Amino acid sequence: MAMGLHFLKTHFIPAILLLFFSISISIAKPNCTDRCGNVSIPFPFGTTKDCYLHRSFFVNCNDTHYDPSKAFLGNSAINITSISLEGQLQVWQFIAKDCYSLNGSRYYNDPWIQIPRYLAVNNTANKFTVVGCDTRGFVSGNRVDRKYQTGCSSLCASEDDLDNGSCSGVGCCQTSIPKDVWRVNITLESFNQYKNYDNLTNKWDFNSCSYAFVVEETSFTFSPRNLYGLRNVKKLPMVLDWAIGNETCESAKKNLSSYACLSNNSECRKPDNGHGYRCYCLKGYRGNPYLVDGCEDIDECKDPSLNDCEKDRCVDIEGSFQCVCPKGYQGEGKTDGRGCVRIRGESLSLKLVA
């Protein structure tokens, strides 16, 4: 019994609060699902026509073939693993491979992706990366209004040359990709595919494969083992940016029937990459700025990291909070030393006498 009560106190009550919290700030349109498997799907994204803002934000939730369900970008094979209201998507994309085997056969693939309008490959979070000891990798494709091509070379003479965590041209090279990219083609070339074939032992050296991919920089750290290990890896994560339409905030605001920042407590900002605009909840609010009433007041008093008031001195107000001293006290109610001090009766009467 005692244990049961304890369980109630520590588990049930937070669970109930959490439930209320998540109901009160729904991130999807009414009557729309806000999840696909492990991925939460905030509007403007949606899994059916009535639930997304534009076809670019269509998430194909495949629940017949996968358990848990998997989210795909539109009708593509691009698998989405997270969507943020800040304007990013994490997706998994095929890596390019170029492998040679003893019998002279070559296994090779040049993957490419094309992403919908209103999305762009994030140019700061991703790096084009090539792994190999005798290889050149290229990334090319389309940006807004033009084409691009870039790449890097990775060479090494022996496995001893390779350093953990160092991607600087020996066994691994990296380069940035430009802004506004919506099509990515990846190709690999060998300088000399037989260079590492050892005629004495009749064996391929350690690096019979090379690889190239656009990857989320924080998700990939080079290790010499990648030369073998990546052989069994099909996809790696990359970051896409999304924004609304192709207008600036100023011109989008002129047409209220299409302006996407529907919440009263939201603001419009221009992204650093791609076209269009994004909506954000104002400071002191959180939720989904793309929905009417989507940005809700944050109760800063419930979270000690959001307010600087002394215990029990915090009063939540719309979009902010105040530290208030109770009757009979003076001061600012703050933890930085300007707390509440009891107004002393003595000094009060002394003052009165004087």
Ligand X SMILES: *[C@@H]1O[C@H](CO)[C@@H](O)[C@H](O)[C@H]1NC(C)=O
Which residues sit at the interface with ligand X, rule CB under 6 A?
60, 62, 64-65, 87-88, 101, 103, 105, 112, 122, 124-125, 140-141, 147, 185, 239, 241, 255, 257-258, 271-273
- For residue 194, the minimal CB distance to ligand X (Å) is 15
Specify the residue, 214 or 340, whose C-beta has the smaller distance to ligand X: 214
The Cα–Cα gap between 352 and 354 comes to: 6
- For residue 162, the minimal CB distance to ligand X (Å) is 24
- For residue 167, the minimal CB distance to ligand X (Å) is 19
C-beta neighbour count of 347 within 10 angstroms? 9
Specify the residue, 207 or 307, whose C-beta has the smaller distance to ligand X: 207
Which residue's structure tokens are 């693993």?
81
Specify the residue, 173 or 243, whose C-beta has the smaller distance to ligand X: 243
Is residue 92 within 8 Å of residue 81, measured between CB atoms? yes
- For residue 148, the minimal CB distance to ligand X (Å) is 8
- For residue 91, the minimal CB distance to ligand X (Å) is 13
Specify the residue, 65 or 327, whose C-beta has the smaller distance to ligand X: 65
Residues forming a β-bridge with 91? 80, 238
Specify the residue, 263 or 273, whose C-beta has the smaller distance to ligand X: 273
Specify the residue, 176 or 349, whose C-beta has the smaller distance to ligand X: 176
Specify the residue, 128 or 321, whose C-beta has the smaller distance to ligand X: 128
Residue-wise over 305-333: b if at least 16 C-beta within 10 A, else e?
eebbbbeebbebeeeebebebeeeeebbb
C-beta neighbour count of 160 within 10 angstroms? 8
- For residue 262, the minimal CB distance to ligand X (Å) is 13
Calculate the alpha carbon distances from 228 to 25, 133, 332, 333 in Å. Answer: 46, 12, 63, 61
- For residue 236, the minimal CB distance to ligand X (Å) is 16
The Cα–Cα gap between 229 and 118 comes to: 35
Specify the residue, 29 or 313, whose C-beta has the smaller distance to ligand X: 29
The Cα–Cα gap between 281 and 10 comes to: 32
Distance between first and last Cα of the chain: 64
- For residue 224, the minimal CB distance to ligand X (Å) is 22
DSSP states along 278-312: EEEEPTTEEE-TTSTT-EEE--GGG-TTT--BPTT
Calculate the alpha carbon distances from 77 to 62, 113, 344 in Å. Answer: 11, 9, 72
The Cα–Cα gap between 319 and 297 comes to: 5
